[in-house]
Amino acid sequence: MLFQDNSPHRRSVMRALSLFTAWGGLIFCVLNIMRGLHGLAAIEFLAAMAAVFSYYRMATTQRLLAWSVGFILCFYTIMMIALLVPNTSPTIFVWVFLLPLISYLTLGSHLGLRFTAVYVFFAAVAFYIRVEMEIGILTLSSAFNVVLCGSLIWVFSHLYEVNRERSQQALMKMASQDSLTGLNNRLRLTEIFQREVQVAKRNDIALSLLLIDVDHFKEVNDRYGHILGDRVLQGLADLIRSHSRQTDYGFRVGGEEFCLILSGADLNSASNVAETLRQSIDSESFEQDGESVYVTVSIGVAEYGNDGRDLDSLYRVADKRLYGAKTSGRNRVVKEGFNHAVDIRSVSASI
């Protein structure tokens, strides 16, 4: 999301750029004072001081992209001013070749492309004006060399960043998603739960957790084989998704154990969702190569606040209620007590 990209590599790049800008600004400030360019020297001194502040701020800010955008805007604007100031060295234009590299490394592929396009255009105009004013005629071969070199750097920077982002997204997906069912894996449970707790507190809404376990799943694997067993798990994941709203999150937390976080659902509402899901699974047939099997699930329900104020305690309560569902006959939902099973299949008539 925009203004929330806090990736470590971009943070380190921005801090390095801030430090480089601080030292470079001070050096060029002194050089331009010696050359009589006092206005540009003052701008560079202010930029150096801002870069020092940015260096320390970048280490802790949670709005890294916002700070990066602001820093890059100032850095590039000062560069464009320096390009147009008369009597600066013509070699100052070599800095333009850094625009694509800096843009993509600090802002990513989308913003990097936009910033590069805008400021490379301004730099090209400044280059043309300076050459016409100080040299007179820009030869075709000179222009071609500059354009070709700049274009290659831009293209390579863009391709590198696009492929890096794709690889990063693929790795993040592998790390956070169960490969068999496509649901979130257990590693993401803590992260998402903590985030949804904050949402629930901020909006003063309920939050509940369902723990779902397949009854006698070992017998399914032993009788029909692991291929059909995997098909059952995939089908259950599909049913969990179909009974989830956009604000709900499904997880596979064990071999045949699933979890569902329900935002905005109190204990009774969550139990109704659980019962509807239980009935759907109870009536579903899972097939593979002509073999078909029916399974049932037991579900434990717990509500944030009343049953626990952290994930461990809430999960423990839901797990005990799941155990209560198992010991009292399976294929049912338990929403009260630790060991006493409350069969709420009768609530289906009111759903």
Nearest C-alpha neighbor of 183 from the set 235, 134, 132, 113: 235
Report in angstroms the alpha-carbon separations of 326 from 162, 189, 259, 338: 50, 24, 16, 12
Within 8 A by CB and 6+ apart from 121, the residues are none
Q: What kind and span of H or E run contains 210? A: strand 207-214
Phi first, then psi: give them for residue 294, nearest 5 degrees. Answer: -110, 140
Measured CA angle at 226 (ends 279, 316), to 5 deg: 55
- Please, what is the angle between helix 8-34 and helix 38-57, to 10°? 160
Report the catalytic residues. 256
Structure tokens, 32: 């331009």
The answer to whether 262 touches 270, Cβ cutoff 8 Å, is yes
Beta strand pairing call for 297-303 and 333-334:
parallel
Torsion of CA 227, 229, 230, 235, to 10 degrees: 130
Place of tokens 């904050």: 198
Nearest C-alpha neighbor of 162 from the set 128, 211, 115, 113: 113
Neighbour count for residue 200 (Cβ, 10 Å): 17
